A and B are shown apart, each in its own frame.
Chain A
Amino acid sequence: MNEPHVIDCEEALRRLVEYLDAELHGESQRQMEQHLERCRSCFSRIEFEKRLKASTAELRHEPVPPELERRIRSLVDTFKC
C-alpha cells in the first residue's frame, strides 16, 4: 500500500477547523492524522482547540429555574390526549 501524501504545517492548519469538527474523511483525514503524529507544534494546537471546543460545549448545560420547569409541566398538562 502506498504511503499517503505527506502534508506540511501550512496545509494542516488549513484543514484544522474541518478536522476539529470531524468533517475530514478518507485520505484527507489520514494525512492529517499522520502529520499530527509527527508534528508536536500542530498536535499542541489541535489539542488546545479541542479543549476549547469541549469547554464551549459545556455551556449547553444551564441550571433550570424552578419556575421554568413548573411552566413546562403545566404546559404539557394542557396537551390533551
Chain B
Amino acid sequence: MTLEDRAPKSAIDSGRSAADREWFERIVVELLSDLYGTALRLTRNRADAEDLVADSVARAWSHLDELADRARLRGWLFCILTNAFLSARRTDTRRGVQQSLDDENNDGFSLFEQLHAPILLWWSSPEKEFLNNLLREDLTRAVDALPEPFRVVVVLADIQGCTYQEIAETLQVPIGTVRSRLARARGQLQKELWTHARDAGLVGRKEMKVTTES
C-alpha cells in the first residue's frame, strides 16, 4: 500500500486553489524524469521507484503549507523523496536488513591512477579514452552495486548535487562522516568501473595498483 492509498482525503484537502494544483502538477511533471531517475538509483527497482515517486508527490501536496518559499518546491520534492526512502529503509534496518560497510576495503582506490600512464602523457591519454567510452549502463551498474549507505551518499552528492551540510542533515550524521563516506563510496564506485572494464577487456589486464592515499 502506498501513501496515495493510505492518505486520508482530509490530509490532501487543504483549501488550496485550482491554480495551486495546476502549478503543483506542472512542476511535478517537469521534474518527473529527475524524480524517477533519483528514485530508481535509490531503490534499484522500477516498481519501487514508481511507488516512491507517487508517495513523495502525495506527501508534498499534503505538507505544502510547510513550504515557506514556493520557489524552493523543486529541492523540497527531492528532499521528501529521499527522506521517504530513508524512512522506509530505517524500518527495514530495525527488522534486521542492514548492510555493513566494514568489509568494503576500497579506501583510496583511484581509477585515474589505474589508468594513468605518465610515460605516455604526451601522445596518449588512457583515462580520457576510458571516459569517452564509458557507457551510461556501465555507470548505472556500478552505482547500483554500491552498498546502500554508499549509494545514498553518491545519489545525494553527485546526482542531486547536495552540499555536505545538506547531506549531513538528511542522514543525521556529522559532516566528517559525510566526507569520509563519500570518499569511500567514490573509491568503490571507481573500483567497480575498473573491474568491469578489465573483465570486459576494455582496459589492459594488468594487476591493480595498490595505493595508500586516503
Contact = CB atoms under 8 A, between A and B. Distances in A.
Interface string B22-64: 0011001100111011101100001000100110011001000
B205 interface: no
Given A57-B161, A68-B50, A79-B61, A18 B179 contact: yes
A23 B167 CA distance: 13
B20 A72 contact: no
B32 A69 contact: yes
Interface residues of A, number: 39
* A contact face: mostly helix, strand, loop, or mixed: helix
B159 A56 contact: yes
A52 B12 contact: no
A3 to B, nearest CB: 27
B160 A60 contact: yes
Interface residues of B, number: 60
Contacts of B171: none
* B contact face: mostly helix, strand, loop, or mixed: helix
A41 B21 CA distance: 53
Given A62-B37, A64-B36, A68-B50, A75 B4 contact: yes
A26 to B, nearest CB: 16
Q: Which of A17, A59, A61 has the most CB of B within 10 A?
A: A59
A7 B90 CA distance: 42
Interface of B: 4, 9, 12-13, 15-18, 20-21, 24-25, 28-29, 32-34, 36-38, 40-41, 46, 50, 53-54, 57-58, 61, 110-112, 116, 118, 121, 125, 127-128, 131, 134, 136, 139-140, 143, 154, 157-161, 163-164, 179, 182-183, 186, 189-190, 213-214
